Amino acid sequence: MTTAEPETPAAPAASDQRETIRGVVSGYVERLRGGEVGILPVVIGLVLITAYFYSKNSNFVKPVNIDNIVVQMAGVSIIAMGVVFVLLLGEIDLSIGYVSGIGGVTVAILQQPDGSYQIGGVIAILIAVAVGAAIGAFQGSFVALIGVPSFVVTLAGLLAWQGVVLKAIGDQGVITIQDNWINDVANYSFPDNWGWALAVIAALGYAATFLLDVIGRRRAGIQRRHPALIVGKIVAFAVLSYLVVRVLNKGGGVPLAGALVVALLIFWTYISRRTTFGRHVYAVGGNAEAARRAGINVPRIRIIVFMISSAMAALGGVVFAAYLTSVDLNAGGGTILLDAIAAAVIGGTSLFGGRGNVRDAVVGALLISAIANGIDLVGYSPSTRFIVTGIILLAAVTLDTVLRRRQAAVGR
């Protein structure tokens, strides 16, 4: 007589698995203990900075000033998004400042009504971005194909492109931008109704990303998100969009520059988190040799990343030029380079490669712009801004170093 073996309980189908709210909270706490703090330090910093400047001057939180901060941070945010991709590889791009100058000078020369080209508007902007991408391909080839350190290549680029800016402007000294399409990039604000429409589009787009995530998880048979968490995040984002647009409308309308930053943030976040190319960037940044053995074309990834960096720098330069409605011999100079790199690092992107998000560029630029705006509003000396920004940058890099050691200790 044989004894029947007890039946093994059937494992629940993957499609029935759902993460619980308690599991999400405990997982977040565990990640914090493991050193994955995300943008939490920046959020805390923004709250403290806002409270401090508000106590000194209540105009800091008025809608008109918030509109100003959004426009002021746009150029740095755009350039810093490209910097994030370079830092994810563990590389550096020191040429972005004067590449942004090249972008601004390009649109300024093309739009001159009495010039040889007489190309204005969107076409001139696209050409400027294409010029930036070509510069990135040129510089990235030295890094990816020959093996010259990116520090050296882009330092040489910093010097060379500064010379190109000086040569292009020449004896004119200043080139005024008269094309309204170009100037509107930094100086146009949408009417109230358009602002509300943008808020609705943003909320629907955010909801659509969750819908795609749910479909992807169901097809892959992995754990699904709890419905309450999905609804909660969508509602929270919709409320945030409503509040932001309401404040900006009171300040004069949603700036086109701010809408451009949001659109680029969504686009590059999708590229970095949802595409094969994005996953390859993180893989190369984490371990280039392992990525190569896995079949990833490492040189190609490096070249494309430098193209992204320079293209975004050129677009950021267009925003700066549009804001001033002109370019001069200082185009691309000043603190543009340092602000862009500092924004990415302060936002949470690691200097050591393999860790960071495109959103880091935006929150970091917001922090830097809020500090600069508050210091000007309160009447502190400009030197204070550089001192405070330097301290915050050092603190961010120190925190990144400590957290990487913490993650290594817990085996992450």
pLDDT at 2 over 70: no
Query: pLDDT tens digits for 51-75?
Result: 999 998 889 989 999 999 999 999 9
* Nearest C-alpha neighbor of 39 from the set 365, 295, 280, 315: 365
Residue 199's nearest CA partner among 142, 141, 246, 164 is 246
CA contacts within 13 A on the Cβ side of 129: 14
pLDDT at 206: 81
Helix (H, G, I), strand (E, B) or coil at 49: helix
C-alpha span between 213 and 274 (Å, rounded): 10
DSSP state of 294: T
φ, ψ (nearest 5 deg) of residue 224: -90, 155
Residue of 85 and 121 predicted with greater confidence: 85
Q: What is the mean pLDDT of residues 150-164?
A: 95
* Alpha carbon distance 130, 35 (integer Å): 39
- The chain-wide mean pLDDT, for the chain, equals 85
Alpha-carbon separation of residue 395 from 125, 297, 345, 402 (angstroms): 37, 35, 10, 10
Q: What is the mean pLDDT of residues 213-230?
A: 71
Look at residue 401 in the predicted model and tell me its pLDDT: 76
Task: Write down the pLDDT at residue 340.
Answer: 93
Provide the 10 A C-beta neighbour count for residue 401.
Answer: 13
Residue 191 buriedness (CB in 10 A; 0-12 / 13-18 / 19+)? exposed
Fold of 38-188+255-409: ABC transporter involved in vitamin B12 uptake, BtuC (1.10.3470)
Give the pLDDT of residue 11. 42
Q: Where are the domains of the chain?
A: 38-188+255-409
All residues at 6 or more sequence positions from 102 whose CB lies less than 8 Å from its CB, including other chains: 128, 131, 132, 135, 161, 164, 165, 314, 317, 332
What's the pLDDT at 87? Answer: 95
Confidence tier at 34 by pLDDT (50, 70, 90) = low
Residue 268 clears pLDDT 60, i.e. is over it: yes
Bridging pattern class, strands 174-176 and 326-328 = antiparallel
Please check the confidence at residue 12 and state whether its pLDDT lies above 70.
no
> Residue 409 has what pLDDT?
64
In angstroms, rounded to a whole number, what is the distance separating the alpha carbons of residues 170 and 161? 14
Phi and psi dihedrals of 255, rounded to 5?
A: -65, 140
For residue 13, pLDDT over 90 is answered with no
Tell me, what's the pLDDT at 102? 96
Confidence of residue 121 (pLDDT cuts 50, 70, 90): confident
Nearest one of 79, 98, 93 to 149, comparing CA atoms = 93
Q: Which residue has the higher pLDDT, 326 or 18?
A: 326
Judged on CB neighbours under 10 Å (0-12, 13-18, 19+), 122 is exposed
Q: Over the range 90-121, which residues count as b (16 or more CB within 10 Å of their CB) and which as e?
A: bbbbbbbbbbbbbbbbbbbbbbbeeeeeebbe
Alpha-carbon dihedral 234, 238, 244, 246, rounded to 10 degrees: -170
Quick one: which of 109, 97, 218 has its CA closest to 174? Answer: 109
Residue 300 above 60 pLDDT? Answer: yes
pTM of the model: 0.88
pLDDT, tens only, 313-350: 999 999 999 999 999 999 888 889 989 998 998 888 88
Q: How do the residues of the chain divide into helix, strand and coil, expressed in percent and rounded to 5?
A: 75, 0, 20
